Amino acid sequence: MDQQLKQYQKSLIALTERVSTEEGFNDTNVPGVRTLRSSSKTCNSPTIYEPMVCLLLQGSKNLYVGDQKIHYNELSYLIIPIMMPVTGEIVQACETSPYIGISVSLDLRELSELLIDMAEHKSEPCQKSCIKMVDADVESMSTFARLLALHDSPQDIPIMLPMLKRELMYRMLKGPAGNQLRQFLLYDSNANRISKVIEIIRKNFNSPLKVKDLADVVHMSESALYSGFKSITAMSPLQYQKHIRLNEARRIMLYEGIEASAAGYQVGYESPSQFSREYSRLFGAPPITDINRVKQNQSLATVSS
């Protein structure tokens, strides 16, 4: 390993450990920048990834997107340009060597503006996978380090944060994932159209979904939309909506104390039995059982930390 890269890894782990006061995700003083820490392995768990770039400093994780498996190693980072349902499991972590990472939120509009300034409006055909893993290099590690260091210098955040996020986005666009990322940014490309459909579903996830209406909005045929959507997300628009609904229901039951029947109705289900059945299929247990299990695991993590 490059000595400079190793030094960045060591210093970032130390800073992340200091910032991470709890197991799981931790907010920092820097808007859009979070740390992640886990001192134990985890089982397969469905979740929703917001648009972001995630640097893994220590440990490893498996991500599953449809039939695709991504093995996520230390000193690599994931680029996730769209809101994406995934299933993940931490496979390497322990008390003495925890799983440690940093995430930085992404905004496709900011990326598009940067792409215009770069005067790069073409991309070569490539696999339009929604998630791309890239090996970290000294330049990207330096940018992550300066971003996280703003946690200790809040007075610098208003000026430095926009510049450092722009630098990070620039390195992504110029790096190995750049061509793939540009697919989502170029106006009127199929990937860009699919990203617009995803945004519509995200904003209206609890309303009835008609693929024809979505296709009309982005000027695609229903078959082209279905095919393009599945090639990017590994699921159909209706399956995508279902994942968004069920993950949101889980969130509001867990953190807002809403009962299962009310949660199902709030996210768009008219039938409590259908909600319970589809929830069990995704999370492996009925709503009440699953929520109690998650709360118990959180309590155990708090005690052990």
Q: Which CATH superfamily is domain 188-305 in?
A: Homeodomain-like (1.10.10.60)
CB atoms closer than 10 angstroms to residue 88: 19
CATH number of this structure's domain 3-184? 2.60.120.10
Distance CA 118, CA 177 (A): 16
Predicted confidence (pLDDT) per residue in 224-267, tens digit? 999 999 989 999 999 999 999 999 999 999 999 999 999 999 99
Residue with tokens 């900011």: 110
Residue 121 clears pLDDT 80, i.e. is over it: no
Query: For 63-67, 129-133, 276-280, which range has the lowest pLDDT when averaged over its residues?
Result: 129-133
Please enumerate in sequence order all residues whose Cβ is within 8 A of that of 184, keeping only pairs 6 or more positions apart, or say none: 81, 82, 108, 128, 191, 192, 195
Calculate the average pLDDT of the chain: 91
Please say whether the beta carbons of 84 and 78 come within 8 A. no
The per-residue pLDDT for range 72-93, each reduced to its tens digit, is 999 999 999 999 999 999 999 9
> So where are the chain's domains?
3-184, 188-305
Q: What is the structure's pLDDT at 129?
A: 62
Helix (H, G, I), strand (E, B) or coil at 106: coil
Q: Which residues lie across from 78 on neighbouring strands?
A: 54, 133
* Closest among 42, 75, 72 to 60, alpha carbons compared: 72
- DSSP sequence for 163-189: HHHHHHHHHHHHSTTHHHHHHHHSTT-
- Alpha helix ranges (H) inside the chain: 3-19, 108-117, 138-149, 157-174, 178-185, 190-203, 211-217, 222-233, 237-255, 260-266, 272-283, 287-304
Over the stretch 5-56, which tens digit does the pLDDT of each residue have? Answer: 999 999 999 999 999 988 889 999 999 999 999 999 988 889 999 999 999 9
Q: What is the pLDDT of residues 132-150, one digit of tens each?
A: 899 999 999 999 999 999 9
Same topology, domains 3-184 and 188-305? Answer is no
| 122-125 contacts at long range (C-beta below 8 A, 24 or more positions apart) | 122/182, 122/186, 123/179, 123/182, 123/183, 123/186, 123/189, 124/179
